[in-house]
Structure 1
Amino acid sequence: MGLLCHVENLLALLFTVLAVSFASTVEYEERAAREGWLRSEQEMKWLYEEWAVEHDKSYSEQGEKEKRFQVFKENLRFIDEHNRPENNHTSTVGLNQFADLTDEEFRALYLSAPINVSAAPSPPVTSRYAPMAGQVLPYTVDWRTWGAVSRVKNQGTCESCRAFATVATIEGLNKIVTGNMVTLSEQELVDCDQRNQGCQPGYIQFTYDYVVRNGGIDTDWRYPYTGVQGMCRPNRARAVRISSYERVPNYNEYALRRAVANQPVSVTIEAHGRAFRFHRSGVFTGECGTSIDHFVTVIGYGREYNGIDYWLLKNSWGPSWGQGGVGMIQRNFGGAGKCGILIQSVYPVMRRWTPSDADGEGTRSSE
């Protein structure tokens, strides 16, 4: 009897979910038809075929293409609804390589389980970027204008975002200190950082610590990215070195702003929301919590024309996310920051580096 009741309850729950999903789809279609913005099945099919070619999508299993088309349509409906002007969103969303994935599939393939930052040794916090009385910081910073941001890269389905965020900060600092932009190897961190487990979720402290202990990191042209864990190469070079790494004081917007005024900084965020997954332009102010599951790099900050303060993020999801792989997220949100961006912020240190507090540009000192 207990088993029968359990099965009946599960069936009732399934029917409820299907009914809600069907009702929301019908509501969307009825409203769209009334207001004249419903896409036809033919148009959605055409968009799907065009999207599949653009993102090199092919499906070998029977029925898989049609299944993915149904998911694509649901995501397209979300995008159309979000972008309607009367919804007054501060950002737009658009199709990208994730458009044939359900929310659950996206989280499983591209994000970590919620990251417990206290489970690994915490990087030291110093006074380097602590708030200072009377200090004036640059109104806006964009490290791309200084050539301190390399091309946007794509982690693929390897959960190696920590490696990409670590590398981006080291590339940026090296450019600021030496004047040379050297693109570095995320694959070395995937293969050789033994305390993290390759393409499994891990801790960014360990990736920085690997670079320090290894005496540097190789270039990406010598040690290119494959997106799968392989054997650690014994003949790898040490093209760029760091002396240590530190953490920005937690939950402190001003301290993070001061740090970013001097160098790119890696941060953790909650990234599994659909509006963030399909982010295209504008400042993201959508719903998100603090169940952090992704690492990105803050490469600047500023204020949008509509008065919203933002952080400028370099992601590792390729150029179809955001504006060529870069997006804006709300700043001065309070608490843990928008999507938990203030929970853990880490940056590399070089011995020859002394931060400048006035202009967002680095200065050098003798060792």
Structure 2
Amino acid sequence: MGLCQVENLLAILFTVYAVSFASTVEYEERAAREGWLRSEQEMKWLYEEWGVEHDKSYSEQGEKEKRFEIFKENLRFIDDHNRPENNHTSTVGLNQFADLTDEEFGALYLSAPINVSAEPSPPVTSRYAPKAGQVLPHTVDWRTWGAVSRVKNQGTCESCRAFAAVAAIEGLNKIVSGNMVTLSEQELVDCDQRNRGCQPGFIYYTYDYVVRNGGIDTDWRYPYTGVQGMCRRNRARAVKITSYETVPSYNEYALRRAVAYQPVSVIIEAHSRAFRFHRSGVFTGECGTRTDHFVTVIGYGREYNGIDYWLLKNSWGPSWGQGGIGKIQRNFGGAGKCGILIQSVYPVMRWWAPSDADGEGTRGSE
């Protein structure tokens, strides 16, 4: 490396440090002035408690101290976000991601932006297209009908597509059969050869695997390990689907109509720090349409403050949102909040024909 390159690198590092230092000083000055600054000791106590709660341990020398500095920065963001005068529609809180930078979180838990237009897809169905005269429920929450299984955790395996598809299949199976059978994401990681295990992939391939395989095993027979392994030969076909279909894109009403009948897999941009630490309320923060994370829409409604929302089941464990369930703004327009209207997919069972039900099959309250 030449002298000029070294000087440029040092200049960049100094600038990053100066900006970070200025941000920290500004935070501390404002916090001290307004009386809400946490002491170093208090943050240390919180860090230790948080580490025990999330079973954190660091083997490399100095790693714990490095992670503490990142933890403090994230804690400052959380404290500042939750200040009442900021008038945010959602709160944030500490979870298992609190010792990660934005870059580390994205690399470990999100995929690179997925080009959904490049994904081979089934024809868009008219099953959930707008229907004249149909009145949909004002509120839907498939948890109240037992059609949402426990929240699971994908870990650092980028297998969110498997969790989003499994949650939708579990939900439809409960609606059709009356039985909640929790299914195997690990089978999809190991056996879906057109996707690449713990690498980012396409959700259409995920659903297509279940159709072509003649079903999917239960998670107690084929439990989740979070790493790609050999595909088991003795797997069962506990739940079968006939096919899968897409909701018309960029159409709030169509997605609402679909969710009134069954849980639906969607892709969103989840890179925002406010989304990463989401705790309660409706997320209305900054985000774009990078489409880097799959989740399952399990309902919709309106918050007491008048904000319409989609109800999401995530795959980041129970410390995200409220037990792993969160809300994101609905009726946002365009591609939807965080791109939620770009790609919506749901499973189909031959004997389930909601398009003939004229609203009678929906679950909600008028």
TM-score range, shorter chain: over 0.9
CA contact (8 A) 2:256 2:300 kept: yes
The one-character-per-residue Cα deviations of 1:297-349 (angstroms, maximum 9, x if unpaired) are 00000000000000000000000000000000000000000000000000000
Residue 120 of structure 1: how far off its partner (Å)? 1.7
CA contact (8 A) 2:138 2:365 kept: no
CA contact (8 A) 2:82 2:88 kept: yes
Aligned residues: 366
Residue 355 of structure 1: how far off its partner (Å)? 1.2
The CA distance in 1 between the partners of 2:365 and 2:79, in whole Å, is 56
CA contact (8 A) 2:260 2:362 kept: no
The one-character-per-residue Cα deviations of 1:18-58 (angstroms, maximum 9, x if unpaired) are 11111010000011011110000000000000000000001
Residue 14 of structure 1: how far off its partner (Å)? 2.1
The one-character-per-residue Cα deviations of 1:97-116 (angstroms, maximum 9, x if unpaired) are 00000101000100100011
CA contact (8 A) 2:134 2:359 kept: no
Aligned equivalent of 2:305 = 306
Gapped regions of structure 1 (runs ≥ 5): none
The CA distance in 1 between the partners of 2:80 and 2:359, in whole Å, is 39
Residue 8 of structure 1: how far off its partner (Å)? 2.9
Residue 123 of structure 1: how far off its partner (Å)? 2.5
Residue 354 of structure 1: how far off its partner (Å)? 1.4
TM-score, normalised to structure 2, is 0.97
**CA 1:304–1:358 in 2, change beyond 3 Å: closer, same or farther?**
farther
Identical pairs, percent? 91
When structure 1 is superposed on structure 2, of 141-150 and 16-25 the one drifting more is 16-25
Aligned equivalent of 2:48 = 49
Residue 124 of structure 1: how far off its partner (Å)? 2.0
Residue 361 of structure 1: how far off its partner (Å)? 6.5
Residue 5 of structure 1: how far off its partner (Å)? 3.7
CA contact (8 A) 2:90 2:279 kept: yes
Residue 133 of structure 1: how far off its partner (Å)? 1.6
Q: Does 1:256 align with 2:255?
A: yes
The one-character-per-residue Cα deviations of 1:48-80 (angstroms, maximum 9, x if unpaired) are 000000000011111010010000000000000
Aligned equivalent of 2:73 = 74
CA contact (8 A) 2:210 2:241 kept: yes
The CA distance in 2 between the partners of 1:50 and 1:67, in whole Å, is 17
TM-score, normalised to structure 1, is 0.96
CA contact (8 A) 1:261 1:359 kept: no
Gapped regions of structure 2 (runs ≥ 5): none
**CA 1:78–1:357 in 2, change beyond 3 Å: closer, same or farther?**
farther
Residue 17 of structure 1: how far off its partner (Å)? 1.7
CA contact (8 A) 1:249 1:255 kept: yes
The CA distance in 1 between the partners of 2:286 and 2:358, in whole Å, is 33
CA contact (8 A) 2:141 2:364 kept: no
Moved over 6 A (4+): 356-361, 363-367
2:44 partner SS? helix
The CA distance in 1 between the partners of 2:279 and 2:311, in whole Å, is 13
The CA distance in 1 between the partners of 2:48 and 2:364, in whole Å, is 56
The CA distance in 2 between the partners of 1:180 and 1:102, in whole Å, is 41
The CA distance in 2 between the partners of 1:357 and 1:100, in whole Å, is 50
